[in-house]
């Protein structure tokens, strides 16, 4: 039990994940209100918006306006997502509010890479090289490597630990060539294959390979194993998790309609607090924001804890 950490970082991705996939329309003011409400819950990281082509993701056509409108609270790190040079430039224009660092995100499954990014792993590796060059040219530090489909793939089946390690190695090697020092690796369960056993295998192998790098788990609850997998990871001392309030979001390319996406932040917080792990988050406040998220999107969200409420009697 001694590996259980004292403090865990909840990386809240509800706004970015949720508003990209919700059929909407959701007003700019409502998006800002959700981010501001999250800022008051005690989470120390919020991924706010996606700077993507409005034609591809209409839900984020107002990304610039959302960042302009949201309040920046001390002690909270606000980030954004982008995929190309244009998106990077939009993010850089908001450095007064956004923490802009670079990440090199690859895929452990070639089929998922094609479905999600419309290119093979080999083609995507070349794209990552260009991304790294662009980040260097813009003086943006490259700090993170990510592995999509690290736990398994709905299109091609099992993904081996070796495939996940290789995907990360590709990113690490491009980062090295670019003179960057990678501090974090995100293992993304893009299609909800995580289980406690898979989590233990992956975390163990990545720890052994890169003992100095912090692991971030991006777990999905698609098959009901998200919280149990987080439990396994916490027992191994993992201290950073992506999650979304109310379970907002889900991957549009996962190939399983109706499947839920990210683990719910409030369930992760309850799990941690019950294990005696600090998160800095006010659980009751976070549940209230989850209810607000349900009102904004206009339908029930996947979080189970949201329906039942916490232990308050």
Residues that bind its own copies (CB under 8 A): 152-158, 192-193, 195-198, 221-225, 227-228, 230-232, 256, 258-260, 264, 267, 270-271, 274-276, 302-305, 307-311, 313
**Measured torsion, CA atoms of residues 108, 112, 114, 117, in degrees rounded to the nearest 10:** -90
Rounded Cα–Cα distance for residues 231 and 29 (Å): 36
Q: How far is the CB of 142 from its own copies (least distance, A)?
A: 33
Q: Is 251 a catalytic residue?
A: yes
Q: Which residue has 């191994």 as its token pair?
A: 236
- Residue 279 contacts residue 259 (beta carbons within 8 Å): no
- Residue 261 contacts residue 302 (beta carbons within 8 Å): yes
Phi then psi for residue 209, to 5 deg, are -75, -40
Rounded Cα–Cα distance for residues 57 and 95 (Å): 23
Distances (CA, A) of 21 to 65, 149, 211, 297: 18, 19, 35, 10
Q: How far is the CB of 36 from its own copies (least distance, A)?
A: 26
Query: Is 187 in a helix, a strand, or coil?
Result: strand
Catalytic entry in 153, 194, 251, 272: 251
Q: Which is nearer to its own copies, 64 or 200 (CB)?
A: 200
Q: Determine what percent of the chain falls in helix, strand and coil, rounding each to the nearest 5.
A: 45, 15, 40
Q: Which is nearer to its own copies, 68 or 273 (CB)?
A: 273
Distances (CA, A) of 142 to 83, 127, 135, 183, 283: 14, 15, 7, 9, 33
Q: How far is the CB of 231 from its own copies (least distance, A)?
A: 4
Instruction: Give the HSE-up count for residue 309: Cα atoms under 13 Å, Cβ half-sphere.
Output: 3
Q: How far is the CB of 125 from its own copies (least distance, A)?
A: 24
Helix or strand holding residue 80 (H, E): strand 77-82
Q: Which is nearer to its own copies, 162 or 304 (CB)?
A: 304
Among 207, 188, 182, residue whose Cα is nearest residue 106: 188
Q: Which is nearer to its own copies, 30 or 242 (CB)?
A: 242
Q: How far is the CB of 283 from its own copies (least distance, A)?
A: 11
Q: Which is nearer to its own copies, 30 or 267 (CB)?
A: 267
Rounded Cα–Cα distance for residues 118 and 104 (Å): 17
Q: Which is nearer to its own copies, 118 or 312 (CB)?
A: 312
Q: How far is the CB of 299 from its own copies (least distance, A)?
A: 13
Q: Return the active site residues.
A: 251
């Amino acid at each position: 039990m001694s590996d259980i950490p004292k403090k865990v970082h909840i990386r809240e991705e509800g706004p970015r994940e949720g508003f990209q996939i919700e059929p909407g329309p959701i007003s700019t003011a409502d998006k800002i209100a959700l981010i501001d409400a999250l800022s008051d819950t005690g989470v120390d990281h919020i991924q706010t918006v996606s700077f993507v082509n409005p034609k591809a993701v209409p839900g984020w056509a107002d990304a610039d306006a959302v960042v302009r409108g949201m309040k920046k609270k001390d002690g909270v790190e606000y980030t954004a997502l982008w995929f190309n040079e244009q998106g990077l430039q939009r993010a850089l224009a908001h450095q007064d509010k956004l923490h802009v660092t670079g990440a090199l995100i690859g895929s452990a499954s070639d089929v998922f890479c094609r479905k999600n990014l419309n290119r093979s792993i080999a083609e995507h590796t070349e794209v990552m090289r260009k991304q790294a060059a662009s980040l260097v040219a813009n003086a943006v530090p490259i700090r993170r490597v990510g592995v999509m489909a690290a736990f398994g793939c709905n299109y091609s089946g099992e993904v081996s630990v070796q495939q996940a390690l290789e995907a990360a190695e590709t990113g690490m090697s491009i980062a090295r060539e670019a003179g960057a020092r990678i501090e974090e690796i995100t293992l993304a369960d893009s299609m909800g294959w995580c289980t406690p056993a898979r989590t233990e295998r992956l975390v163990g192998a990545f720890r052994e390979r890169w003992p100095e790098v912090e692991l971030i788990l991006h777990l999905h609850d698609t098959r009901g194993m998200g919280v149990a997998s987080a439990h396994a990871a916490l027992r191994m001392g993992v201290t950073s998790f992506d999650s979304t309030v109310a379970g907002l979001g889900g991957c549009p390319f996962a190939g399983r309609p109706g499947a839920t996406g990210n683990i719910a932040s409030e369930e992760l917080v309850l799990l941690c607090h019950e294990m005696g792990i600090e998160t800095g988050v006010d659980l009751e406040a976070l549940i209230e924001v989850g209810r607000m998220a349900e009102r904004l999107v206009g339908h029930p969200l996947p979080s189970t804890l949201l329906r039942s409420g916490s232990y308050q009697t």
